[in-house]
């Protein structure tokens, strides 16, 4: 809501920069780390033992979907194959959105077990969080290989 009242066109440039700087410091310095730590507290690493195939398929589907979805759109927009690949690889790092949605679903009770539930459903939250983290961690490696193919 604050963003609606303190936009670039509603207050002078100096005040805007000041408010933005303070809000960014609060957000990135305190709120974001607390939020991501709270997600980590709900993470169950037994997902790697119980449904490893599902985790692998989820990570691959997320990466391939982001890579090709954004890469093909970039190619269609006129970028070269290398640039399109870089856009696709760069989009795979957008894991924060998945973590936020997973946290909302967890708090809404969508992952709660009622009766006999499959192990996949039981470990869905952890699988989604791991997918988001892994796709984010792979992105810099891919971008480095795309932009500096001889240096690894």
Helix then strand count (H, E) for the chain reads: 9, 0
Residues 38-57 as b or e (16 or more Cβ within 10 Å = b):
ebeeeeeeebeeebeebbee
Instruction: Determine, yes or no, domain membership for 152.
Output: no
121 shares a domain with 65: yes
| Domain identity same for 52 and 5 | no
| pLDDT tens for each residue of the chain, 152 residues long | 666 666 667 777 787 788 778 888 888 788 778 877 888 888 899 999 999 999 999 999 988 998 999 999 999 999 999 899 899 988 887 777 777 888 888 888 877 767 667 888 888 888 888 988 888 888 888 888 888 776 65
80 and 26 share one domain: no
pTM for this entry: 0.72
pLDDT of res. 96 = 74
Last residue of a domain, one of 25, 41, 57: 41
- Confidence (pLDDT) at 61: 93
What is the extent of the structural domain holding 21? Answer: 1-41
Number of domains in the chain: 2
Going 9 to 15 to 19 to 20, the CA torsion angle's sign is positive
Residues 18 and 77 in one domain: no
Same domain, 108 and 64: yes
């Amino acid at each position: 809501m604050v963003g609606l009242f303190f936009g670039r066109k509603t207050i002078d440039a100096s005040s805007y920069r000041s408010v933005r700087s303070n809000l960014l410091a609060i957000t990135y310095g305190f709120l974001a780390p607390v939020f991501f730590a709270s997600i980590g507290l709900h993470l169950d690493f037994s997902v790697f033992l119980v449904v490893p195939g599902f985790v692998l398929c989820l990570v691959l589907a997320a990466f391939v979907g982001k890579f090709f979805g954004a890469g093909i759109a970039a190619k269609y927009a006129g970028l070269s194959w290398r640039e399109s690949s870089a856009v696709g690889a760069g989009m795979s790092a957008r894991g924060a959105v998945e973590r936020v949605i997973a946290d909302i679903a967890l708090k809404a009770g969508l992952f709660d077990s009622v009766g006999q539930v499959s192990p996949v459903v039981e470990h869905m939250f952890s699988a989604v969080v791991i997918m988001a983290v892994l796709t984010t961690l792979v992105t810099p490696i891919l971008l480095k290989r795309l932009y500096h193919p001889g240096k690894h």
